[in-house]
Each structure stands twice: as C-alpha cells, then as structure tokens.
A = this chain, B = another copy of it.
Amino acid sequence: MVTIKDIAQMANVSRSTVSRVLNNSGYVSEDARERVEKVIEETGYVPSEYAKSLRTKKTKVIGVILPTIQTETPSRIVTGLGKELEKHGYQILLTNTNLDKDKELEYLDLLKMRQVDGIILIATNTEPKLIKKIKQVDIPVVIVGQESEEAMCVSYDDYHAARELTSFLISKGHVKIAFIGVNETDHAVGYLRKKGFFDEMESRLLPVEKDWIQQGIFDIDSGHASMERIITDSQHQPTATIAVTDRLAIGAMSYLKKQGIQIPEAMAIAGIGASEMSQYIDPPLTTIDYQNEKAGTEAAKQILARIYSQKIQEKIILDYRLIIRNSV
C-alpha cells in the first residue's frame, strides 16, 4: 500500500508538503506541487480516509437504519438521501433491521462505534426506549417517517392525508367505508392514519362498524386477508375501503377480483403511498403521494446542517398530494 510517506520520498519533499497539496492548504511552491502531483498520478495514490478521520474526527459517513429495503418507501428515501449526501462528499453506511425493533437500538450503538457523523433513522415506531437511546448516542440523529417532539424529524402529514382521502370518498357518495390499518405502535402509519379516518367519519356523522376495521401487516397478502374478512364478516357491506398502504390496497383488490366483485362499482378502494404499481394495476389505484425521495433529501439537509451546527428547524412535516384514479 502506498502512503503519504512514499509520495513524499519519491517527490523529494516532506510529508507535510504532500499533505498541503492534497488539501490545498498553506503555501507550496509551484515546483514542489508539480512534482508531488506527478508522483500521485503515477502511483495512483489515494489518501486513507481512515487515517484522516482519526485526525479530523470527521468520517464523512452517515449511518442509515431502515426497516427493510424491499419496499418502495424506504428505497425512495435512501435514493433521496444518497443524492443529497453525495453532493457533499458523504457516504452511506447502511443497516437493515429487517423489521426487528431490537436491531434499531443495536445499530444505533454500532453506528456510534463506527464514528459516523450522523444517523438517519427510517423509523417504524417512536417508543420511549428508542428515543432514549437516540439521546444517549450523542450523535446527530434525524428520524424520517415518524413525528417526534424530542428528536429532529422529517415526517408526513399522515393525519390530514388520511382525513382528506376519507373526505374524498365521502364526496363520491360513500357512507359505509371500511379501513385496513396496521399496528398502532407505528404511530405514523398505524395510529395517525387511522385517527384521520375516524375523525373525518365522525365529523360527517357517519357510523363505522367494527368489522369494517381490519388490521394487516406491511405486505400484500395481509391486504388480501383483510379484505376477505371485511367481505365475509360485515353485517352491512361497505361500499368503499381505505388501506393505509398501497400494498395493502393491492392485496385487497386481488381478493375482490378473485371474488368477481367489481371495482369501483361494488367496492371503491384507495391506498396511500403512490407506489409505482398503483398506476398500472387494474383499475388504477387512487392514492396519496408523499414525495418520499424529497423526504430523503430533506433529511440529508437536516443532518448536514446539524453537523455544521447551523441553526435548524427541528421538525419538518412534508406536504402530500391526492392522486385520483379509477379505483374510486
């Protein structure tokens, strides 16, 4: 391995001089600079970021913790993060919990050990022990996708999005609306979206039957199963269904099609997330676009601002957009 020392010897200067041309700092004669650059060119020398980090205490690495990389939301966020971080010479150290909550805590420690300059946590919950750990690691952390009063965060307006979606269905004449949600420990997706739905229904004085409310997990099959329960268990058949993710909605649609239930005539359906498939499925799915990639770039900007200790806004709530398609 070729080091700064080798370059110095070959160019007949001291290591300091090499360091100066490398970092463009201090004075260095044109003559010396040229010799050094020539040698660097010839040897293909690349300075060790590790050694540099040891001195500068900056690694230029941002740790990212995500629940899974196999769904569109986190993928888009990471894409956004990557684009923004790259501009500033930062790299991403990726950790994947595969939906194991304990690993969120574990990786927080691990990333600290790796001396990352900051951490982006694509969160699925905001439980106290997680918040506590975040404070404890003593590294800038930005939470994406969940709102929190106690940490920096970039999140979506889940409550109003769900509410507006519900309102839209009502405006289309639906009064019996079913709802497929997820566990409420996921505050954003599980709790807020559900609350938005219920509040809107209540404000319109529309009753909601118990069997209309189903809970799935984050996959297509559970959307299928949820819709099956809605259809078979309900006293009064609803005429529309809101699912908190597009995947759940797509699963629900696949059950309806299998049963020969017409969409949207016999059952309207809407999702949230603007997945790519939502526009190609038949019929195209009404959904809500959250601009996940933008959430990623925003989170990146936040963490960088924090690292360079600029004044920052602690809490960002992004806008959403209702996409109306033929499933309703």
Contact status A79-B70, CB under 8 Å = yes
Instruction: Kindly report which residue of chain B lies nearest to residue A253, judged by CB atoms.
Output: B280
- Give residues 70-117 of A contacting B (CB, 8 Å): 70, 72, 75-76, 78-79, 82-83, 91-96, 98, 109-110, 112-115
A95, B280: Cα distance in complex, Å: 30
Using A70-B75, A78-B69, A110-B91 as known contacts, say yes or no to A50 and B44 having CB atoms under 8 A apart.
Answer: no
Q: Which of A28-36, A53-61, A178-186 contacts B (4 or more CB under 8 A)?
A: A53-61
Asked if A281 is at the interface (CB within 8 A of a chain B CB), the reply is yes
Number of interface residues of A (CB under 8 A): 46
Q: Which residues of B contact A240 (CB under 8 A)?
A: none
Q: Could you say which of B53, B98, B114 contacts A91, with CB atoms under 8 Å apart? A: B114
Task: Write the A16-46 contact mask toward B (1 if CB under 8 angstroms, else 0).
Answer: 0000000000000000000000000000101
Interface centre among A47, A83, A91, A220 (most CB of B within 10 A): A91
Contact status B94-A94, CB under 8 Å = yes
Q: Could you say which of B76, B79, B282 contacts A282, with CB atoms under 8 Å apart? A: B282
Contact status A50-B115, CB under 8 Å = yes
